[in-house]
Amino acid sequence: MATETHESRSCGRGEAFMRQAMAAHGSAVYLVALAQTRCEADAQDVAQDVFLRLLTSTSVFTSDEHLRAWLLRVTVNRCRELHRALWRRRVDALDEQAELRLPSPSAGTEDAALAELRADPVWQALRRLPAKLRVVALLHYVEEYDTAQIARIVGSPPATVRTRLHRARKQMRQILEPEGDAS
């Protein structure tokens, strides 16, 4: 079986390519964005931006895994851009004081899945981690990337990724295990 190459023949990508990419990798892009932004609306915006960038990108992907890594790298970078914006810092301070939940315009299975995810204690602990630890933990434990792959996605040396994973595990353990528990 030959490896399929995803190519861009013009300034944009075809509809079939985009549908396949969104179906195969949309969930991972959204989950990374949600973990980084901690806001469903921002995560949706980031995911949309990522796929718009894919639509106009001239990058050639040698495999589906190469495409996935590119999408996650763009997601991480887009989340960084979002947090660097000056207005974003002001909005974050308000969001942390009062988490306002607006009803979703389309209630359905996605809302139920998000509600279940929000209620999960591991997800809650993951959300409390600093962004640099949160992204490596998510990529390692949810997306099952090894440290070398994560290093390429987040633009850090593998040793830094290993250190961040160690710190993420330690902090999550502290969050999930109350001090009085002696199990």
The closest of 166, 163, 33 to 174, measured between CA atoms, is 166
The closest of 15, 83, 80 to 54, measured between CA atoms, is 15
Whether the per-residue pLDDT at 164 is higher than 80: the answer is yes
* pLDDT > 90 fraction of the chain, expressed in percent and rounded: 41
- Give the tens place of pLDDT for each residue, 78-89: 988 887 774 545
Q: What is the pLDDT of residue 109?
A: 59
Band the pLDDT of 168: cuts 50, 70, 90. very high
Rg, Å, the chain Cα set: 18
Query: Hey, what are 60's tokens?
Result: 């050639």
What average pLDDT score do residues 120-133 get? Answer: 84
Q: What is the pLDDT of residue 35?
A: 86
Taken in order of first residue, the domains within the chain and their CATH numbers are: 1-100 (no CATH), 111-183 (1.10.10.10)
Q: What is the pLDDT of residue 9?
A: 41
**Whether the predicted model's global pTM rises above the 0.85 cut:** no
Q: What value does the mean pLDDT of the chain take? A: 79
- Give the tens place of pLDDT for each residue, 94-111: 555 444 444 444 445 566
With a CB cutoff of 8 Å and minimum separation 6, the contacts of 64 are 4, 6, 24
Q: What is the pLDDT of residue 113?
A: 65
- Give the tens place of pLDDT for each residue, 15-59: 899 999 999 999 999 999 988 888 888 999 999 999 999 999 999
Whether the per-residue pLDDT at 6 is higher than 60: the answer is no
DSSP state for residue 1 in the 8-state scheme: -
Q: Which residues pair with 61 in a beta bridge?
A: 6
Does residue 180 or residue 141 have the better pLDDT? 141
Q: H or E element: which one contains 164?
A: helix 158-176
| Dihedral sign, Cα of residue 130, residue 132, residue 136, residue 138 | positive
Q: What is the pLDDT of residue 102?
A: 44
Does residue 57 or residue 91 have the better pLDDT? 57
Q: What is the pLDDT of residue 13?
A: 79
